Chain A
Amino acid sequence: MDRSSRPRSRGPAPLVAVAAAAVLTLAGCSSSHGGKKAEEEAANAAAGKADTPRMTVALVTHQAPGDTFWDTVRKGAEAAAAKDNVKLVYSADPNAGNQANLVQNAIDQKVDGIAITLAKPDAMKGVIAGAERAGIPVVGLNSGVSDWKKLGLLEFFGQDESVAGEALGDKLNTTGAKKIICVIQEQGNVGLTQRCDGVKKTFKGTAETLYVNGTDMPSVGSTITAKLKQDSSVDTVVTLGAPFAMTAVQSVGDAGSKAKVATFDLNKELVKAVQNGTIEFAVDQQPWLQGYLAVDALWLYKNNGNYSGGGEQPVLTGPAFVDKSNVDKVAEFAAKGTR
């Protein structure tokens, strides 16, 4: 019995060596298509910068980690901050209690202005009152279109999710859709539910909701496929986020269905898909604009006393439809991740 003849060759070392060698070999062969090089051909135009005194603005959202949408909001806020000589402090937590703590944190830092999202308005009541006592102006963005005034916010920039849904429902009526499914990627999310409810309200055909597991893309794909197989009369799939729209297109193909895909929100892959016609249209709420306007409004308020909507009306940033007719214009901005 030879105990020393352990199959050491099965150990990790040779595998790593082979892999490393392969890397070295492949490093020499670069891609002649696409990639970063192609992207870098697009140039950026630099905006001017204000010479007003330096001020600090806190932007506190209910973003869940890794959400593309919020990333665009943040970019808009950063653009405004850069232009207005504002130091932007960004923080986020999807848990309402934690978000309130982050706002309190900003008050303690004695910032010059706070921009917040009102995903759960009641949880924010206390800290908003606190900011008022501290003399810090607060503006709202994105969520909370029906609550911002009640809570005493200065102004609000966003899209009414129900209104956006209703607009999409109307638009679907004009495309001749008869039966749609509305794909919700996070069961129990208020904003997403409002969108689907809005669609159902104005859409004249039949609308059904479908829940998918948003953290697992293959699962999203096969669930949509399954639904399309189960009900072959579905002629339009409505998704509530750009990445899910791209997956829905594949599912339509897999199920052998003829359904069209329409979606809320936008990203640069989606713009391409609208351009080549695989996706019908997208409803954009212009997240970049929300972030930009929120910060810019606080700057204006401090330096010139202006406030949009006179404290009575929200500033609606959406719904803005992106379809074949205007997609080319949107495309160049979307490529930079600003639209």
Chain B
Amino acid sequence: MSMSQQAQPAVDRPPASGPKRTDGRTARRPLPLRLLARPEVGVFLGALAVLVFFLITAPPVRDGSSMANILYQSSTIGIMALPVALLMIGGEFDLSSGVAVISSALTASMISYQLTLNVWTGVIVALVASLAIGAFNGWMVVKTGLPSFLVTLGTFLILQGANLAVTKLVTSNVATDDISDMDGFGQAKKIFASSFDVGGVQVKITVVWWLVFAALATWVLLRTKYGNWIFAVGGNKDSARAVGVPVTFTKISLFMLVGFGAWFVGMHNLFAFNTVQSGEGVGQELIYIAAAVIGGCLLTGGYGSAIGPVFGAFMFGMVQQGIVYAGWNPDWFKAFLGVMLLGAVLINLWVSRAATRR
């Protein structure tokens, strides 16, 4: 191992204070422009625009508890959007993330109820199952070299079917039984689905988890080896492998991270609503991906941030609830949602174009 050697720099030459040559390509751009080029700044401005818009048009939004409600809606999208964004930066997709949330909740609920165990048993088994699903996705993608779009589309269908069939088989219903009177439920609810008081406003705990996870993801992405590897495997997998980045480990662990997110949101669904319907979750994966993309993550991988998807999810939650707060004709709901999102994405695009233009 020629690498693990002396504590001396390779070359003892004094640091070159040589001529400062630049060839025009490397000229520093002014700070404001460089700031705008950050992936999360565009979406931040987009989200801000949406917020201001609804503050003006929908008076109830100005209320603290309305904001808490919007943040709650955003957090359940946002917690999943984070690992989905990291995975996307790592160059892969996970279409099974929406139904995986429900798979996890179903697992926990059925294990606890059918075996009459403390709910924590179900919670732990669900975590193992969720991580296993993620590992399977990652392993399949890495080993077969197939596009993750295809592999996870397969998992998506498998899980959608299994959610239904297993639930039907075990409970002879298509929804799980109420577990709210079982041991450990109160405790678990405190962690996954409680509220706390902030100046008279009830804030859901998922909002806190969301921000904690976002801070953690940002730190990991920008300040750790692992974060460096995520960018590398998404930006150029072969180059990353050539310089010794453990590509297989990085990709599989990213899929498992999505599994972890699915577990967490699944537990929230379970402990917030006591029962789970096996048909839920379909279509959510696109919302997670949308939040990540609006948040400035490149669909092709290698670029993005963890803070961006936070604003992306907030924008989604804000638009979704803002339309209701504004009291617009609900028949147009989906159309409004689409227009607002498109508008926000355009602002995002315009900002990043303006920033990279020289």
Contact = CB atoms under 8 A, between A and B. Distances in A.
Interface stretch (A28-36, A45-53, A122-130): A28-36
Interface in B67-123: 69-70, 72-73, 76, 98, 112-121
Interface stretch (A2-10, A314-322, A324-332): A2-10
A217 B179 contact: no
A198 interface: no
A154 to B, nearest CB: 29
Interface stretch (B23-31, B41-49, B58-66, B350-358): B58-66
A108 interface: no
Contact of B135 (A12, A22, A221): A12
Contacts of B112: 31, 35
Contacts, number: 207
Contact of A215 (B4, B70, B121, B279): B279
B1 A26 contact: no
A254 interface: yes
A33 B183 contact: yes
Contact of A26 (B117, B160, B287): B117
A223 B333 CA distance: 12
A215 B282 contact: yes
B66 A68 contact: no
A267 interface: yes
A209 interface: yes
Contact of B116 (A23, A31, A269): A31
Most buried by A among B117, B172, B278: B117
For the residues of B in contact with A, the DSSP-based class is: helix
A35 B113 contact: yes
Contacts of B58: 230
Contact of B330 (A19, A211, A222): A211
Interface stretch (A59-67, A140-148, A199-207, A301-309): A59-67
B113 A23 contact: no
A125 B44 CA distance: 54
Contact of B128 (A7, A16, A210, A337): A16
A267 B195 CA distance: 27
Contacts of A254: 69, 195, 202
B178 A269 contact: yes
Interface stretch (B12-20, B234-242, B249-257, B296-304): B249-257
B226 interface: yes
Contacts of B327: 230-231
B66 A229 contact: yes
A19 B173 contact: no
B124 A269 contact: no
Nearest to B204: A254
A26 B120 contact: yes
Contacts of B72: 218, 222
A11 interface: yes
A15 B257 CA distance: 12
A243 interface: yes
B279 A67 contact: yes
B116 to A, nearest CB: 3
Contacts of A243: 175, 273, 275, 277
For the residues of A in contact with B, the DSSP-based class is: helix
B70 A267 contact: no
A211 B184 CA distance: 35
Interface stretch (B147-155, B317-325, B341-349): B317-325
A151 B173 CA distance: 33
B189 interface: no
Interface residues of A, number: 67
Contacts of B120: 26
B69 A226 contact: yes
A216 B181 contact: no
A215 B281 contact: yes
Interface residues of B, number: 83
A250 interface: yes
B325 A68 contact: no
Contact of B3 (A1, A23, A187, A267): A1
Contacts of A208: 330
B128 A29 contact: no
Interface in A259-303: 267-269, 272
B76 A219 contact: yes
Most buried by B among A6, A64, A216: A216
Given A12-B135, A12-B252, A256-B65, A216 B280 contact: yes
B280 A217 contact: yes
B175 A34 contact: no
Interface in B266-290: 268-269, 272-275, 277-284, 287
A36 B114 contact: yes
Contacts of A3: 1, 3-4, 244
Nearest to A273: B178
A117 B283 CA distance: 26
Contact of B174 (A37, A67, A272): A67
B36 interface: no
B334 interface: yes
Contacts of A67: 174, 279
B340 to A, nearest CB: 15
A247 interface: yes
Given A29-B118, A269-B275, A16 B173 contact: no
Interface string A231-266: 100000000000100110010001110000000000
Given A12-B252, A66-B280, A27 B117 contact: yes
24 contacts: A4-B1, A7-B226, A12-B253, A27-B121, A33-B181, A35-B115, A65-B161, A66-B164, A67-B279, A208-B330, A215-B279, A218-B73, A219-B73, A222-B72, A225-B69, A226-B60, A226-B324, A226-B325, A229-B60, A230-B60, A230-B325, A269-B275, A272-B178, A337-B172
* Top-6 shortest CB links A-B: A66-B279, A35-B116, A222-B73, A26-B121, A31-B183, A34-B181
Interface of A: 1-4, 6-7, 10-12, 15-16, 19-20, 22-23, 26-27, 29-39, 64-68, 71, 75, 187, 208-211, 214-219, 221-223, 225-227, 229-231, 243, 246-247, 250, 254-256, 267-269, 272, 337
Given A20-B128, A66-B164, A67-B174, 5 more contacts: A4-B1, A12-B252, A16-B131, A66-B277, A250-B273
